[in-house]
Structure 1
Amino acid sequence: MNKNTKPLKYIFENHFHQTWNNIKHKFPKNLHSSIWNNVSKFLDCGDISRGYTAFKCNQCSHMHIVGFSCKSRFCSSCGKIYAENWALNLKEQLFDVQHIHAVFSLPTGFCRDFFFSHRFKLQDLAKAAYQSLKYVFKKSGIHSFGAIVNIHTFSRNLDWNPHIHCIFTYGGYKKNDQWKELKSIPYPVLKKSWQKCSLDIIANFAKINNNINLKNKISLCYRKYNDGFYVKSDKKINNIFEIAKYIGRYLARPAIAEYRITDITDSSVRFWYQKPDSPKKIFLTLPMTQFIGRLLAHIPPKNFKMIRRFGLYSRRYKNKKPKKIKLFKGKISWAERIFKTFKTNCKC
């Protein structure tokens, strides 16, 4: 592999087309065009034959050429810039109050498999997380609150694991428009609420399609998980900048960071990951076909929104002005990014 070639680009330049022909039948047909288009854009990212911008140093007249970016959801470089720009647009909408981050998970088995085959139902899963929170807030006397929901489909080892990252205000407005903070979150209630709201999505599908097998699995699932589905929350988030930064990192990027890939052969890829509760690195080697397949599984359908806003953060509340917080100095260009990092625009 050329030392100047990034690992993912090398893998997909040399193995994607053959692998895709062998595995595309495993993916829902409505995803095929999205996968092909995103990977094609990613492979052309930075290719100056497809257009470029030239930067000239005012001191030595050196010309630096930068190929146009692809803006694909599968490109790590473009994803980083997209996430930062998205966070800039968020700055006028966040409330200057405490927030909390929670993860809503599904058990392994048919629940996760259902959302792989019916990808557009993931938008209903985002609503289910909000509805389960809404039930808890209502019991606390809170009529409206703000939530930003990120649909996340991969685990650290690249497996298909649809779950929800949600950042929400730790309080909200009562019916008299007075702000009220939550004293605590009743997690036993939230877990059962999340279980019902998410299983209702599958139950409605089973009812419409008269799928007896799914109906039986849902009944067994309630009995097996009688305490509800897993919900985990972190400590309260007081820093508005950290909130925007956290949400942005999941917006548009491949399921693995390039630095985690340690070895590539013609038949396999070796990478490492860490469990949430341990700093120890776990190394995993996957056959090339399986590695590519796991990455492709997380490319969303065209125009599918991975971020959903609810309550006080939804568009219909745009006239309700929260306190404005300045998160960044403003959108910056490529040249400004280089200067910010290296303190110079040129080798001179």
Structure 2
Amino acid sequence: MAENNTTFFFREIISDQIENGNLVLDQLSYKNAKVLKDIRECHTEQKGIAMSFCPHCGHTEYHNGSCHNACCPCCGTAARLKWTQKQQEYVLDAEYFHIVFTIPSELNILCLYDPEFMYNCLFDSVGQTLLDFSANPKYLGGMPGFYCALHTWGQKLDLHPHIHVVFCAGALSDSGEWVTPKKTTRDGKTFLFPVKELAAHFKNEFMSRLKEHFSSDDTFDKSKLNEAIQESDKKQWNVEIRESTGDPSHVIDYLGRYVNRVAITESRIVSYENGIVKFKYKDYRDNNEIKTMELTGQEFLRRFMMHIPPRYFNTKRGYGFLSSGRKGSLIPKLKELIKESKRQSDKVITITDVNPPKENPLIHFLSKVFPKQSIGRCKKCGSEMEYVSSWECLRLFGVPRTVFT
């Protein structure tokens, strides 16, 4: 069976650092140790054997099992596709904006000290800011809907906490009507919110929560805290409202690109030789030029672990009518309220076969027993392959679980 080398560099780096004594998993937090262990074992026999089959032609493939860890640079792609496909039913035929909220680098020391509070504070401040501006009749005058996704990294794997927001440019008013932004720019485009006022409000929300929390914390160095607060207060905080789109397919692309993501993907790693990791990064200060950077394996993993979220921490959250408690009941009503200005015909791809293959009893059985989980197109006929996980394979074929442990 051919081995999937998608996480080859990561496995090699982690294994090498463990062998050299630079990395001791037992000395790490539970979450960090689990993530590195999962990545090291991802797509190896230690994670079992999964299979995919084509219900159309009967083609079957076997794969080494995945770790399914959200921080894995390989499994993150599958999680992204699965999540974004699920969100398609919640996308409205409306304009969407991409907004980015960033905190000053002076607060990074507090993110390292108490990441769970700082990142929750970041979510709460962004959410409250957008809810307040949306409730203002001058802009929307109702309850909005938006997704937030936390990213803590920069292109060089340095600490750079910020939140990406996919914001639906519309709201549900108190009277039950669908309202849209009331202003346009000089070139006729939709005007959402004033950026400077948005940034100032976000800053006040964040700093008030920060000061209240750390005023009762006697374990952190007060001089460092005061210095971080003073320096942050002096700065003008950065909020960026980027391009908008009214195409639902582009909205799904936004969600996939920003809501489910890991600090660095395997494709960005160029090489790992003599203990040195060489990886690509985009230099935003130099016209987005692609450059390379070299780090020792130990430093590379240290930076990577900075971006592993706290245990049980949710890095993507919905607000307003896209919150988990509301979207199920409100989205169908909102779809009825919105008058669609454009109707795009759905393209249905059908696969014809002059001589359809004979029904395979095993494939028929698998289709009945296991829920449909797409894993890509069949190499033979182009139909959607369906997936059977490692442990389902064990149950199906009666393979002892000890074989893979």
Q: TM-score normalised to the size of structure 2?
A: 0.72
Q: Give the equivalent residue in structure 2 for 1:12.
A: 14
Q: Give the equivalent residue in structure 1 for 2:374.
A: 333
Q: Give the equivalent residue in structure 2 for 1:221.
A: 232
Shift of 1:331: 6.2
Q: Per the alignment, in what secondary structure is the counterpart of residue 73 of structure 1?
A: coil
The structure-2 alpha-carbon separation of the partners of 1:136 and 1:331, relative to structure 1 and needing over 3 Å to count, comes to farther
Shift of 1:339: 3.1
Using the alignment, how far apart are the partners of 1:250 and 1:171 within structure 2?
A: 21
Using the alignment, how far apart are the partners of 2:14 and 2:208 within structure 1?
A: 39
Shift of 1:125: 0.9
The range that moved more, 11-20 or 285-294, is 11-20
Using the alignment, how far apart are the partners of 2:197 and 2:316 within structure 1?
A: 25
Q: Decide which structure has the larger Cα Rg and report it.
A: 2
Using the alignment, how far apart are the partners of 2:35 and 2:216 within structure 1?
A: 33
Choose which of 90, 94, 99 in structure 1 pairs with 2:96: 99
Q: Per the alignment, in what secondary structure is the counterpart of residue 172 of structure 1?
A: strand
Q: Kindly provide the amino acid, as one letter, of the partner of residue 323 in structure 2.
A: S
1:284-343 deviations in Å (ceiling 9; x for gaps): 111221111111111112321110111110123231124399999996433x44539988
Contact 1:142 1:180 in 2 (8 A): yes
The structure-2 alpha-carbon separation of the partners of 1:328 and 1:43, relative to structure 1 and needing over 3 Å to count, comes to farther
Q: Give the equivalent residue in structure 1 for 2:111.
A: 115
Shift of 1:51: 2.1
State the aligned residue count.
333
- Residues 63-102 of structure 1: pairs in structure 2 closer than 5 A: 64-102=61-99
- Residues 1-348 of structure 1: pairs in structure 2 closer than 5 A: 4=5, 6-16=8-18, 18-21=21-24, 32-54=29-51, 64-109=61-106, 111-121=107-117, 122-139=119-136, 140=138, 142-182=141-181, 183=183, 184=191, 185-209=193-217, 212-213=222-223, 214-215=225-226, 217-222=228-233, 224-225=234-235, 228-276=236-284, 278-317=287-326, 318-320=328-330, 321=332, 322-323=334-335, 332-334=373-375, 336-339=376-379
The range that moved more, 140-149 or 324-333, is 324-333
Shift of 1:261: 1.7
Contact 2:276 2:295 in 1 (8 A): yes
Using the alignment, how far apart are the partners of 1:45 and 1:71 within structure 2?
A: 8
Q: After TM superposition, which residue ranges in structure 1, 4 or more long, deviate above 6 angstroms?
A: 60-63, 324-331, 340-345
The structure-2 alpha-carbon separation of the partners of 1:91 and 1:191, relative to structure 1 and needing over 3 Å to count, comes to same
The structure-2 alpha-carbon separation of the partners of 1:344 and 1:150, relative to structure 1 and needing over 3 Å to count, comes to closer
1:184-206 deviations in Å (ceiling 9; x for gaps): 21111001011112222321212
Using the alignment, how far apart are the partners of 1:238 and 1:341 within structure 2?
A: 34
Using the alignment, how far apart are the partners of 2:348 and 2:317 within structure 1?
A: 22
Contact 2:91 2:251 in 1 (8 A): no
1:97-135 deviations in Å (ceiling 9; x for gaps): 1110011011112x1221222121212211211111222
Q: Kindly provide the amino acid, as one letter, of the partner of residue 292 in structure 1.
A: L
- Percent identity (aligned): 21
Shift of 1:263: 2.7
Q: TM-score normalised to the size of structure 1?
A: 0.83
Q: Kindly provide the amino acid, as one letter, of the partner of residue 168 in structure 1.
A: F
Q: Per the alignment, in what secondary structure is the counterpart of residue 323 of structure 1?
A: helix
Q: Per the alignment, in what secondary structure is the counterpart of residue 92 of structure 1?
A: helix
Unaligned runs of 5+ in 2: 184-190, 337-343, 350-370, 386-405
1:180-231 deviations in Å (ceiling 9; x for gaps): 2222211110010111122223212122226643245424432x22xx3101
Contact 1:135 1:193 in 2 (8 A): no
Using the alignment, how far apart are the partners of 2:258 and 2:96 within structure 1?
A: 18
Q: Kindly provide the amino acid, as one letter, of the partner of residue 232 in structure 2.
A: C
The structure-2 alpha-carbon separation of the partners of 1:229 and 1:49, relative to structure 1 and needing over 3 Å to count, comes to closer
Q: Per the alignment, in what secondary structure is the counterpart of residue 157 of structure 1?
A: coil
Q: Kindly provide the amino acid, as one letter, of the partner of residue 207 in structure 1.
A: S
Q: Kindly provide the amino acid, as one letter, of the partner of residue 271 in structure 1.
A: F
Using the alignment, how far apart are the partners of 1:340 and 1:125 within structure 2?
A: 48
Contact 1:73 1:299 in 2 (8 A): no
The structure-2 alpha-carbon separation of the partners of 1:337 and 1:38, relative to structure 1 and needing over 3 Å to count, comes to farther
1:254-286 deviations in Å (ceiling 9; x for gaps): 411222222322332111211346242222111
Q: Per the alignment, in what secondary structure is the counterpart of residue 269 of structure 1?
A: strand
RMSD of the TM alignment (CA)? 3.4
The structure-2 alpha-carbon separation of the partners of 1:47 and 1:170, relative to structure 1 and needing over 3 Å to count, comes to same
1:16-71 deviations in Å (ceiling 9; x for gaps): 463333996xxxx7xx100111111121122235421346799x999743122110
Q: Per the alignment, in what secondary structure is the counterpart of residue 23 of structure 2?
A: helix
The range that moved more, 178-187 or 249-258, is 249-258
The structure-2 alpha-carbon separation of the partners of 1:50 and 1:219, relative to structure 1 and needing over 3 Å to count, comes to closer
Unaligned runs of 5+ in 1: none
Contact 1:85 1:331 in 2 (8 A): no
Using the alignment, how far apart are the partners of 1:332 and 1:49 within structure 2?
A: 22
Using the alignment, how far apart are the partners of 1:135 and 1:327 within structure 2?
A: 39
Contact 1:56 1:62 in 2 (8 A): yes
